[in-house]
Structure 1
Amino acid sequence: MKDTAINVLKILEESPGPVSGERIAEQLGITRSAVWKQIRELRRLGYQISSSRAEGYRLETKTDRLFPYEINKMLRTRVIGRQIRHFDSTASTGWVAKKLAAESDPEKLHGMVIIAEEQTGGVGRLGRAWVSPAGGIWATILLKPSVPLDHLFMTTMAGSVAIARAIRKEYGISALIKWPNDIFIGDRKVAGLLLELAAEADTVHYALLGIGIDANVPLDELSSNLRDTVTTLQAEVGREVDRVALLARVLREFELRYQQLEDGEYDSIIREWKSLSRTLDNRVAIKTINKTFSGEAIDIDEHGALIIRKDNGKIERVIAGDCFQL
């Protein structure tokens, strides 16, 4: 959104009633024709603006799109989200983040959030397709970590806690975390995360935390093979949710936990993750690259591995794999 359009929007937001085109033009030092052009652009972007020859323009409702201007009004962070790139559509916000990191100093981009209204080529864990239609929240947080390499995996834990807490606080819904990186409501997935690192030897150039939340995605728009395992916040709440407010809350919750990681407060993250887990203390089936087995999920260790007491009584430590609750 261009600065002139934002300035027109601010005048409409701050006015208790209709504002004439002439008054807007005088305040901004532009022509009335230019005002009309910006009004038309704001309407195209989803803002509902009524007009009357006698009274002028009135902002009726704001857009539902995840524009940086709207997010910044609700953001309560120091670093995360203070830089935002927004796209109507892109193959992958992660791909955009990698390109930006390659073209600039990742340290200067630390905390940047790349957002897309839809992704046409989203990729999830293990290279699986990440279905990302319009109405969801599809974002990547670009980080230049100061967290030790052996604890960077906890960035995903911090993100999982942030999303679960944000959903609980915004809607009073008992969102829980399924190991290793999914958020569930009941027995259906509503969000997921993906952590990617650009590193060599002991040096981490940057980290990307991908976030996907099925916010206002109509269930009937999901493919038939997903409808039994996936839900959306719109379906759970019974109405469209405010995606801007939710994303701003997620970024705030994430910054709080990421600060704990930077301060070395690893136990705090692990305790909170455990308190929100739907995996621990339940029978699960585990599928790794090499084998499949079942047992009880009894703990998660300091490296994020899931500890399973197998049906034969032996203890198995699972670093990576698929986990299915039985």
Structure 2
Amino acid sequence: MQYRLLKPELGHRLTSVNSTNEWIKNAEIPFGSWVIADEQTNGKGRGQNLWQSLGEEPLIFSGKIKLSAAEISLPLLSIFISSALLKTIYRFFPEREEDTTIKWPNDIYKGEKKVAGILVQSEYINGIFDIVIGIGLNFFGQHVPEPLKDKAIFLCETPLLEGDLERFANHLIGEINQAVITLLDPSQVLKDLVWIEDHSLLKNKIIETEWDERIIRGRVLGIDELGFLLIMTETGQKIELMDTSPNFRMI
């Protein structure tokens, strides 16, 4: 099939939108398109959650691509999109290499607080995935709302310079496309998984989560070739986690 990756020339800039993910799903918006918005009033998070952009300078981004379902693992795509975002952060803010990591399956953390979230939504049609990639990143702000102070943080200590947001978004598009190209070449996937594990918040951490209708505790071993988190439990059982549960936490 002909893959439809993001195209720099198919970008849009909106002042305000309900949800960039919902906006770009419109059938009149061609595959390869992407959008950034200054304001989002009903951002989408995982499940029934909402994404709340913080501060004066957030990145609110969505892109729409088309891929063969036979050649892509959606959990792995989600974590590779996270790596594309982290690589872009390192490119523009190299000082963040000291404290900013990927939190499986699809978040970016600065220290132990969330600074960005990724939402990958897909529709399966005749062996093809129509995919919408949503990214929210809190660049800079003066104030984190009280209910989120223990959970969220800003990436930067100072405001962005003029044009930085647009340059960041354009570089991110290239990194997302490269991540997808890597996923389509099995010989390259392991190399990128090693990079992701080296920049993982959960690397060698002890976690507690719900699995098979019970609470288990174990050490994180890494991420497998399908994007699942590998855990060695206290009883010596090796398990694969497809997703986090409400009870997921680091010990």
Range into which the TM-score falls when normalised by the shorter chain: 0.7 to 0.9
- Per the normalisation by structure 1, the TM-score is 0.67
> Are 1:311 and 2:234 counterparts?
yes
Q: Which residue of 1 aligns with 2:136?
A: 212
Q: Which residue of 2 aligns with 1:179?
A: 104
CA 1:80–1:311: 2 relative to 1, 3 Å: farther
Q: Tell me if the contact between 1:288 and 1:320 (Cα under 8 Å) persists in the aligned partners.
A: no
Identical-pair percentage:
23
Partner amino acid, structure 1, of 2:33: M
CA distance in 2, matches of 1:217, 1:144: 35
Helix, strand or coil for the counterpart of 1:286?
Answer: strand
Residue 305 of structure 1, CA deviation? 0.9
- Higher percent of residues as helix: 1
CA 1:258–1:147: 2 relative to 1, 3 Å: farther
Partner amino acid, structure 2, of 1:233: L
> Are 1:280 and 2:217 counterparts?
no
Helix, strand or coil for the counterpart of 1:136?
Answer: strand
| Deviation readout 1:103-157 (Å, 9 max, x if unpaired) | 46xxxx3321122111111111122110025521111110011463552332212
Residue 289 of structure 1, CA deviation? 8.8
CA distance in 2, matches of 1:268, 1:143: 24
- Per the normalisation by structure 2, the TM-score is 0.85
Q: Tell me if the contact between 2:82 and 2:106 (Cα under 8 Å) persists in the aligned partners.
A: yes
Residue 298 of structure 1, CA deviation? 0.9
Helix, strand or coil for the counterpart of 2:42?
Answer: coil
> 2:219 is matched with which residue: 296, 299, 302?
296
> Are 1:156 and 2:78 counterparts?
yes
> 1:123 is matched with which residue: 39, 44, 51?
44
Which stretches in structure 1 are left out of the alignment for 5+ residues?
A: 1-77
Q: Which residue of 1 aligns with 2:117?
A: 192
User: Please, what is the CA RMSD of the aligned residues?
Assistant: 2.2
Q: Tell me if the contact between 1:138 and 1:213 (Cα under 8 Å) persists in the aligned partners.
A: yes
CA 1:230–1:145: 2 relative to 1, 3 Å: same
CA distance in 2, matches of 1:117, 1:278: 29
CA 1:217–1:146: 2 relative to 1, 3 Å: farther
Q: Tell me if the contact between 2:6 and 2:63 (Cα under 8 Å) persists in the aligned partners.
A: no
- Higher percent of residues as strand: 2
Q: Which residue of 1 aligns with 2:159?
A: 240
Greater C-alpha Rg? 1
